[in-house]
Structure 1
Amino acid sequence: MKFKFTHNNFNVLNLEKSLAFYQEALGFKEVRRIAPESGEFILVYLGDGVSTHTLELTWLRDRNEPYNLGENEFHLALMVDDYEAAHEHHQKMGCICYENEAMGIYFINDPDNYWLEILPGSKT
């Protein structure tokens, strides 16, 4: 028996704002969308253009209050080929929420306050 990662999910309050953030901050593009006629939810899958792993953004029509993210101890991690350029870009966007210079990593947060760890391409 063999398992393979396929996607992770984040629930979002403002789908358009989240889509714009992930496009600008990480270059993620929509690869699939599920939107039933009832309009009760929309699922949008974002891809990085390199791997088959996707990020599923779930929007629920009847949800108005922010999601409880606990202490934000869970996150997604992404490697970038030009760490310095990415850091500068995220700094200009104002989305860096935590830096650990000793480890050579930093975190950005999306519009719903999910954390995304940014690693230089040489880190594993």
Structure 2
Amino acid sequence: MKFTFAHNNLNVYDLQKSLDFYKEALGLTLQRTKDADDGSFTLAFLGDQTTPHLLELTWLRDMNRPYELGDNEIHLAFTVDDFDAALAKHREMGCVCFENTEMGIYFIEDPDGYWLEIIPAK
């Protein structure tokens, strides 16, 4: 028996705002969507055009407030080929939320408060 990653899921409050953020900040593009027949949810699958792994953004019609992430320490990590250019872009966007210069990484925050780790490619 062998398991392989298919996707990660994040619930989002404003789907279009999140789609715009992930495209601008990380270059992720919309691969496909799935809408519930009753309109209760939309799933948007984003890809990096390099790996088969997808990020699923879930919008729920009945969610009437931003998500409360609490002490949720979960994050997704991305490698980047030009770390300095990425950091400059993310600083310009105002989404850098934590820098660890000792480890050579930083984190950005998406519109819903999820942290995304940025790691230089080796």
Q: Where on the TM-score scale, by shorter chain, does this alignment land: which range? A: over 0.9
Report deviation, 1:68: 2.6
Letter in 2 for 1:34: K
Report deviation, 1:37: 3.1
Change (3 A) 1:98 1:113: same
Q: Deviations over 1:94-114 (max 9, x none)?
A: 000000000000000000000
CA RMSD across the alignment: 0.8
Instruction: Among all aligned residue pairs of Structure 1 and Structure 2, give the percentage whose two residues are the same amino acid.
Output: 59
Report deviation, 1:91: 0.4
Report deviation, 1:41: 0.3
Instruction: Name the TM-score, length of structure 2 as normaliser.
Output: 0.97
Q: Deviations over 1:41-95 (max 9, x none)?
A: 0000000000000000000000012223232411000000000000000000000
SS in structure 1 opposite 2:19?
helix
SS in structure 1 opposite 2:21?
helix
- Note the 1:1-124 alignment, pairs <5 A: 1-122=1-122
List structure 1 runs of 4+ shifted beyond 6 angstroms.
Answer: none
**Mapped partners of 1:17, 1:8: distance in 2:** 19
**Mapped partners of 1:115, 1:36: distance in 2:** 28
**Mapped partners of 1:56, 1:111: distance in 2:** 15
- Gaps in structure 1 of 5+ consecutive residues: none
